[in-house]
């Protein structure tokens, strides 16, 4: 997850590097730091440093980090030849390393030999049963093969050990959503909200899942979590503002217009906030917003 300001910085640097303006290494560091997936760029610019012995030696110890980064990018771009070369260099430098062992597994994986890769990972896990990255690779492999039920089983097993891994809970939630297993997804988000109550994203996602399940009780709860999202974001979250409007409208339909006492104020506040925001930042879409609100009978 990258925030808006980081994204701007990253894109600016990417542009500069693409146009030969320098800063290649800084860009590659930023890609690692933000954990974004820009494999084609990493491959191109990383390789140009690796192929230039003067630039490469300047990096000192970081040289090996770059080999690793380029290897993974090359696998992602299906340039197995380049990935292989990088892994070879690393193997020579660090013959006993688990980290390089993981790369070997990933290389086999990139070639599509999932069974062989799984064997490599399993033997690595024998010595390091708590290596999170390897566990995650195996989950990703199930997903890559389209074996979603195995991915779910493995993820659940993983979460029994690494209960505090938020990204893993989120991944599980998203898989459940993609399978329309909304109750299970809701459970994952409940878990996330309990662990990190101040992250608006989880409140919003939980509300969205509850809204999707529907029914008066879920809609009421959804509305509360949309409200807490607004609270946590200082009223800046468009999705949550819309969420209030949608859930209020859906509740209204279920209760056949019997006006609830609580909440009518909330939805008109949300509608007003949306109108104000659109007027300022997206005036040409204001008529559509007005029509939408009208459609929702707000």
Partner 1 sequence: MGGELKYEIGQNAYIKLVLHALKHKTSSVNGILVGRVGKDDVIEISDSIPLSHSQIGLLPALELALIQIEEHYGSQGMSVVGYYHGNERYDDAELGNVAKRIGDHIHKYFPQAVVILLDNKKLEALPKGKGLSPVVEFYTKDASKTWRQGGGSDGGGRLTIREPSSNIVLLDYISSEKWKEVVDFDDHLDDISKDWLNPGMFK
Q: Is 202 in the site for partner 1 (CB under 8 A)?
A: no
Q: Is 189 in the site for partner 1 (CB under 8 A)?
A: no
Which of 163, 183, 295, 297 is close enough to bind partner 1 by CB under 8 A? Answer: 295
Which of 52, 116, 167, 174 is close enough to bind partner 1 by CB under 8 A? Answer: 174
Which of 5, 51, 180, 198 is close enough to bind partner 1 by CB under 8 A? Answer: 180
Min separation Cβ 240 and partner 1, Å: 10
Q: Count the neighbouring beta carbons within 10 Å of the beta carbon of residue 266.
A: 17
Min separation Cβ 122 and partner 1, Å: 23
Mask for 273-292, x = binds partner 1 (CB under 8 A): ----xx--xx-xx--x--xx
Query: Within a 13 Å sphere around the CA of 119, how many CA atoms are in the beta-carbon half?
Result: 4
Mask for 95-134, x = binds partner 1 (CB under 8 A): ----------------------------------------
CA-CA distance, 44 to 233, in Å (whole number)? 38
Q: Does residue 71 contact residue 108 with C-beta atoms inside 8 Å?
A: no
Scan residues 19-38 and list those touching partner 1 (CB under 8 A): 37
Where do contacts with partner 1 occur on this chain (CB under 8 A)? 4, 37, 143-144, 146, 174, 177-180, 182, 205, 208-209, 211-212, 238-239, 242-243, 246, 277-278, 281-282, 284-285, 288, 291-292, 295-296
């Amino acid at each position: 997850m990258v925030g808006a300001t980081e994204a701007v910085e990253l894109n600016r640097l990417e542009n500069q590097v693409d146009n030969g303006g320098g800063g290649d290494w800084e860009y590659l560091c930023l890609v690692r730091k933000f954990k974004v997936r820009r494999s084609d760029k990493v491959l191109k610019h990383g390789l140009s440093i690796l192929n230039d012995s003067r630039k490469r030696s300047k990096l000192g110890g970081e040289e090996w980090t770059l080999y690793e980064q380029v290897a993974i990018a090359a696998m992602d771009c299906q340039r197995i030849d380049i990935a292989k070369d990088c892994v070879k260099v690393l193997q020579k430098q660090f013959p006993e390393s688990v980290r390089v062992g993981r790369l070997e597994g990933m290389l086999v994986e990139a070639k599509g030999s999932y069974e062989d890769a799984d064997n490599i990972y399993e033997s690595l896990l024998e010595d390091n049963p708590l290596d999170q990255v390897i566990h995650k690779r195996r989950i990703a492999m199930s997903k890559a093969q389209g074996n979603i039920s195995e991915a779910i089983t493995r993820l659940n097993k993983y979460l029994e050990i690494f209960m505090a891994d938020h990204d893993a809970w989120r991944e599980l939630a998203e898989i459940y959503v993609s399978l329309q297993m909304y109750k299970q997804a809701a459970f994952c988000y409940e878990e996330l909200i309990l662990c990190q109550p101040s992250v608006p994203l989880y409140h919003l996602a939980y509300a969205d899942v509850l809204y999707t399940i529907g029914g008066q009780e879920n809609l009421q709860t959804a509305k509360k979590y949309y409200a807490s999202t607004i609270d946590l974001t200082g009223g800046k979250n468009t999705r949550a503002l819309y969420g209030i409007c949608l859930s209020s409208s859906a509740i209204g339909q279920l209760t056949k217009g019997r006006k609830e006492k609580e909440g009518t104020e909330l939805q008109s506040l949300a509608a007003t906030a949306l109108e104000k925001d659109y007027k300022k930042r997206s005036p040409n879409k204001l008529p559509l917003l007005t029509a939408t609100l009208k459609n929702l009978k707000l």
